[in-house]
Structure 1
Amino acid sequence: MEERTAGRWPDGPPWWRAAQDTRRWPWRSTALVTAFVLIGSAYAARAQADDRLPLDVLARLLLITAAGLLLWRHRRPVTVLWGTTLAAALYLGAGYPYGPVFVTVALACFAAVVAGHRRAAWSAVGLLWATDLLVTQWLYRWLPPAGDGSAPLGQEFAVAAWAVVIVVVSELASTRREQWARERAERAHAARRRADEERLRIARELHDVLAHSLSVINVQAGVGLALLDTDPGQARTALTTIKAASKEALGEVRQVLDTLRAPGDAPRTPAPGLDRLPELVEQAAHAGLTVRIDGTPPRLSPGTGLAAFRIVQEALTNVVRHSGSRHARVRLDTEGGALRLVVDDDGPATGADAGGSGNGLAGMRERAAALGGTIEAGAREDGGFRVVAVLPTRGTPSGKLRTPASGTPARPPTPGSTKEDDQ
């Protein structure tokens, strides 16, 4: 069955969509109209035998021509409109009976208006009415049938009213068609936007997972290689850390890929949140970074909790990769309905790529912006680096994390700082 929205078809009824496909020829509808015009005109000729001429070969040729032109009404609407109008005018001027010949003009007018040719439609209908007015009020003296008199003016007003109705109905159909086209374009744009947002979300998630895990693996691989001969026990510990980090990364990547394969299904495992900060601390410790967490994590919605976790994870990954400091501080403050995350390290920046392309920082900002929050990052006056995230919160604070004693707060980042991570 056709999908319907709010009791109507969102893209127009099936017959309408088929009519708008200019690649198809309307054979069936044209054949039906031709049969209707010929049969209806034959009945009209019997009813008007005393006033009009009977149908002959010329009359039938004009009727078939007017109806047959409708085959091109979607491809050449203006040409078909003027062709049917001319055929109908010749038919009336020759004295043949009134009848379904006007149906061909009405359909041609409808197709022209829907295609956007309003002036042509109004002009053709006006010309046909003016021709009928001249024939019935003046030219009847010289045109067949012989002895014909003028038609009452009331009949001409009725014909004019029908002409106006035809054009008005065509205008309403054209307006509805434009509305369907706008709705279809808006839905397509919304679908593209959702697809782009989903691709960005997946890319950001994969980046955060892989960047953090690969940074830990890279550091531990260096430690293992350096101590392989002198301290096999420590090298074994480094390899164990690599195995655990790679296993966790594979699990999170698999979860993202499962979401791609079955976008309508719920995730099999909950998204990480601030309750997993101790895991980040432990992973950072394996990479040689000591992390101190100060503050109480609030109860957050899954989306906000995931964003906060990824921001802290990315900031710590940046410290591991680009800072000479082996100490970092994470402070959580909840005030005014917002969570304030501050990640500090004492620097200095190291490595030739310390400036980087800033993809990781861009991901942080995208996560925060999606929730209505903000991200500030930059070098501190004392040579360190700071990331400050402000995210809106929901719910009430939960229990405190078991972390070392709190330290002294650091100063805010200096404006104009340029250090960003390159992940």
Structure 2
Amino acid sequence: MRAKPRWIEPLLPLFVAVLQVTMTWAAQWNQPERVQADAVGVALLVAGPLALVARRRHPVLTLIATLAVTCVFIARGHAYGPIFFSLVIALHNAVVLGRRRAAWAVSVVAYVFFVVYTTWLAPVPSPGLWHMFAVATAIGVVLALGEFVRARRERLAEHERVVQEETRRQASEERLTMAQELHDVLAHNISLIHVQASTALHLIDDQPEQARTALTTIKQASKDVLTEMRSVLNVLRDGAPRSPTAGLERLEELVERSGLPVTRQVTGEVRALPPEVDRAGYRIVQEALTNVTRHAPGAAVTVLLDYGPRELLIQVTDSGGGAPGESLGGGNGVPGMRERAAALGGSLTARHHGQGFRVEARLPIPEGPE
């Protein structure tokens, strides 16, 4: 619904006052049997529009005031017609603002007054039933129009509320996604840095070359984590350039950084995946390798990607470590992976497999256009 120009609201009472006074003078020429508007009549013509000034804050009082002014003006014998403008506007306003009972009550009072006045009190006899029906129809039209406008405004307000709630929900989901991305990036790279730092400290005296390799891995991992964090955080800035998100095409790089003996197996028809599936697959493999680094350092790992016609199967299986890795604190790795899979309508299981552990995820691949 288009908003009214701001100047209409404050100027409406003045416009109605001018309209009622000038049109009443014109109406008197066609109603010679009615009393000419004197100073009191003009004051009544102005009083109704003046009451409209408070129509937003006090719709019921405005409605009662315009009804009283209208009834007094008609009872004094002045011309019919323009004096009703204020009452019609006040009646419509009351219905739109939800004062429906007051509006209907005033409508009944106004109708009874007109029927009684035109039947027994007016100097000229009433035109009859047709006149009464016309008055009732006019009042009904005003009420119906008010109800229509009120219902439309309520629908628009409800639609706006739903849109705002959906916007807030999407923003909340985006924040959750950003938090999950940051968790995965930090968990993987910091775990890798921790393990390589421990290796470097252990070998720095006896095998400095291997310690140098570990330190080189730490340097690269710290650089990678900063790059990925910038990529994730940039999407929170309006107008910031967006780097490509991590996907399965970077799996080889991920495997090399992990420092684990990893065997990759790819079956099925390798093809481009929807971004959300591609990103989720990468993060699941990343988190699974992080868990191996934490809990079974040095274990052999097999990463299987099976591109099926309707789903992507991911299996990350490790052989188990000779000794448990040093814990870096309680983690949300498996629940986080499971949430990623569930968000896409897939599933994820994590269980012991022989002496090691297996993470298996099934991610649906939406059917693309033919």
Normalising by structure 1, what TM-score? 0.78
Amino acid at match of 2:22: I
**CA apart distance, 1:370:** 2.9
**CA apart distance, 1:133:** 0.8
Which residue of 1 is the match for residue 339 of structure 2? Answer: 366
Aligned pair partner of 2:257 in 257, 277, 283 = 283
Which residue of 2 is the match for residue 29 of structure 1? Answer: 12
Answer whether contact 2:295 2:327 (CA < 8 A) is retained.
no
Which residue of 1 is the match for residue 315 of structure 2? Answer: 342
Aligned pair partner of 1:392 in 361, 364, 370 = 364
**CA apart distance, 1:46:** 3.7
Aligned pair in 2 of structure 1 residues 31, 165: CA closer, same or farther (>3 Å)?
same
Aligned pair partner of 1:93 in 54, 75, 78 = 75
**CA apart distance, 1:395:** 8.3
In the TM superposition, 1:12-161 aligns within 5 A as 12-15=1-4, 26-48=9-31, 50-140=32-122, 148-153=123-128, 154-161=130-137
- Structure 1 residues 28-54: Cα deviation after superposition (integer angstroms, max 9, x where no partner): 222212222222223223432x21111
CA distance in 1, matches of 2:290, 2:44: 83
Aligned pair in 2 of structure 1 residues 108, 323: CA closer, same or farther (>3 Å)?
farther
**CA apart distance, 1:394:** 5.9
**CA apart distance, 1:353:** 6.4
Aligned pair in 2 of structure 1 residues 381, 307: CA closer, same or farther (>3 Å)?
closer
- Structure 1 residues 283-318: Cα deviation after superposition (integer angstroms, max 9, x where no partner): 122xxx322223327322332111101100011111
SS at match of 2:116: helix
Aligned pair in 2 of structure 1 residues 87, 241: CA closer, same or farther (>3 Å)?
same
Amino acid at match of 1:320: T
For the pair 1:206 / 2:179, whether they are aligned, the reply is no
**CA apart distance, 1:185:** 1.0
Deviates more, 1:33-42 or 1:189-198: 33-42
CA distance in 2, matches of 1:39, 1:357: 81
Q: Percent identity?
A: 39
**What residue ranges of structure 1 are gaps of 5+ in the alignment?**
1-11, 20-24, 141-147, 397-423
CA distance in 1, matches of 2:240, 2:348: 31
Amino acid at match of 2:312: L
SS at match of 1:296: strand
Aligned pair partner of 1:162 in 138, 151, 165 = 138
Answer whether contact 1:114 1:173 (CA < 8 A) is retained.
yes
Query: How many equivalent residue pairs?
Result: 363
CA distance in 2, matches of 1:133, 1:395: 71
Answer whether contact 2:304 2:315 (CA < 8 A) is retained.
yes
CA distance in 2, matches of 1:234, 1:73: 85
CA distance in 2, matches of 1:241, 1:231: 16
Which residue of 1 is the match for residue 216 of structure 2? Answer: 240
SS at match of 1:138: helix
Which residue of 2 is the match for residue 217 of structure 1? Answer: 193
Answer whether contact 1:69 1:84 (CA < 8 A) is retained.
yes
Q: Report the RMSD for the aligned CA atoms in angstroms.
A: 2.6
Answer whether contact 2:234 2:240 (CA < 8 A) is retained.
no
Whichever structure has more helix as a proportion of its residues is 2
